[in-house]
Amino acid sequence: MQRFAHKTYIASGLRTPFGRGGGALADHDAISLSVPLVQAMSAKARPDLFIWGTVIPSLGWSNIGREIWLDAGLDPTVPAFSTVLACSTSMVAALTAAGMLGGDTDLVMVGGAEVMSNPPIGLKLDASKRIVKLFRTNPAEAIAALQALTPDDLVLPVKGWANRITGRTMGDHMEETAQIWGIGREAQDAWSLKSHQRAIAGWESGFFDDLVIPLPELARDANPRADTSIEKLAALKPAFDTSGKGSLTAGNSSPITDGAAACWVATDAGLARLPEGTHYAELFDHEIAAVDHGVDGLLMAPSFAIPRLLARHGLRYDDVTLWEIHEAFSAQVLANVAALEKPGWTRDRAGVDFDFGEFPWDRVNPNGGSVAIGHPFAATGARDLSQAVKELWAMPSGSFAIVSICADGGHGTVALLRRP
């Protein structure tokens, strides 16, 4: 069984270098950071449709896709719209595009951008209602009311990007999940070190050269650290739980990151419009899962989506040659795979009675993941897809890849790719 009536492909695109929060790219917003990337992508081919996303909202626009497309000076007859699903935003853009292929739509550019350095500051509802009413009746009093605002009137990102329902950050939730699954500090730091070492090796080998466009402010990813070590990681203090039980640190968590990323979704006819040598893979199937985060954990949905997706095709873990797993936190990767490996989990919790075998740890994120490279929320899906397609292209024909992303709200999105 295949998901689509006709062959559907993901082709590697481009991305900006990923910058550290408050660093070289901090003067941008999501639109200005996206424009040079979209222009570079459009120089390769004109898409029939453009889908883009950002997770951190702005009052300055509602359809960031159209704003970027027009600011880039591109053909205004190309439709452009926006999508969002937290950290899965640009993967969902790709899945949306895949469902829209056909007729006159053969090639879609998808992606996302985030400038996490500059989160917007908003008004709480009561303050907003009061001041908007004053602007309608007495603008002078409205201005005075603005000047008299206190922190209690404002929506401030003082705890990072907290879940609205729980009021807790992703890190707060992941600390709890790490303790439930017995994911200790040493294992988290060891995974983080591998991520940095692999990302640095990828840059040194030239793997990222045709995936990343240099910007005037930054030529390569700023987050991977060549000088890190297990000793340096172990010396860092917990970043979320400071009670003495915490294990998540700045070193084993994905950093605040600015960046944009894009990839292509295409039919056979769309592939023919891309430059010769573009890497591509068939989008064979996908799965989106949602869980009760109060029961299973905020970032554990991939452990439900992956077995459901593989079982549909009779695939064991070892049948998948490449695993590209988004690293929101080292603990998140380790906990989701621990669930996949736990006897009875896929049957009793994911509802799949299938023998998946042993998990091939040596096939995960061969060129590093989000802990090292960075995690601009809306850009991560396109970055993961492009990276996986290029990695898969070096493998034998028929090889499968899993690309997995966890997302706020108890979501998990997973794509199954196949090397032609």
Cα 395 from Cα 398, distance rounded (Å): 9
**353 belongs to a structural domain:** yes
Q: Would you say residue 155 has pLDDT above 90?
A: no
Of 155, 180, 201, the residue at which a domain comes to its end is 155
**397 belongs to a structural domain:** yes
- Please state the pTM of the whole predicted model: 0.96
**410 belongs to a structural domain:** yes
- CB under 8 Å to 389, separation ≥6 — which residues? 10, 11, 12, 263, 279, 280, 281, 401, 417
- pLDDT of 352 reads 96
Based on the structure, what is the number of domains in the chain?
2
pLDDT in tens, 47-63: 999 999 999 988 889 99
Taking alpha carbons only, the member of 345, 355, 279 closest to residue 317 is 355
263 flagged as catalytic = no
**141 belongs to a structural domain:** yes
**352 belongs to a structural domain:** yes
pLDDT in tens, 159-174: 667 888 998 999 999 9
**10 belongs to a structural domain:** no
**Domain span holding position 402:** 283-418
**81 belongs to a structural domain:** no
pLDDT in tens, 388-407: 999 999 999 999 999 999 99
CA distances from 113 to 56, 93, 153, 201 (A): 9, 12, 29, 25
278 contacts 411 by C-beta, under 8 angstroms:
no
Beta strand extents in 60-195 (DSSP E only): 80-82, 107-115, 122-123, 154-155
Question: Which one of 49-63, 109-123, 222-236 scores highest in mean pLDDT?
Answer: 222-236
**222 belongs to a structural domain:** no
| Token digits of residue 289 | 């899962």
Of 130, 155, 180, the residue at which a domain comes to its end is 155
56 contacts 118 by C-beta, under 8 angstroms:
no
CATH code of the domain containing 335: 3.40.47.10
| Token digits of residue 258 | 């600015």
Cα 195 from Cα 365, distance rounded (Å): 8
Residue found by looking up tokens 């108890």 in the block: 410
Identify the active-site residue in 196, 279, 326, 375. 375
87 flagged as catalytic = yes
Identify the active-site residue in 263, 279, 286, 406. 406
Identify the active-site residue in 87, 279, 286, 411. 87
CA distances from 211 to 11, 178, 220, 257, 313 (A): 11, 33, 11, 18, 31
pLDDT in tens, 189-203: 999 999 999 999 999
Of 155, 171, 206, the residue at which a domain comes to its end is 155
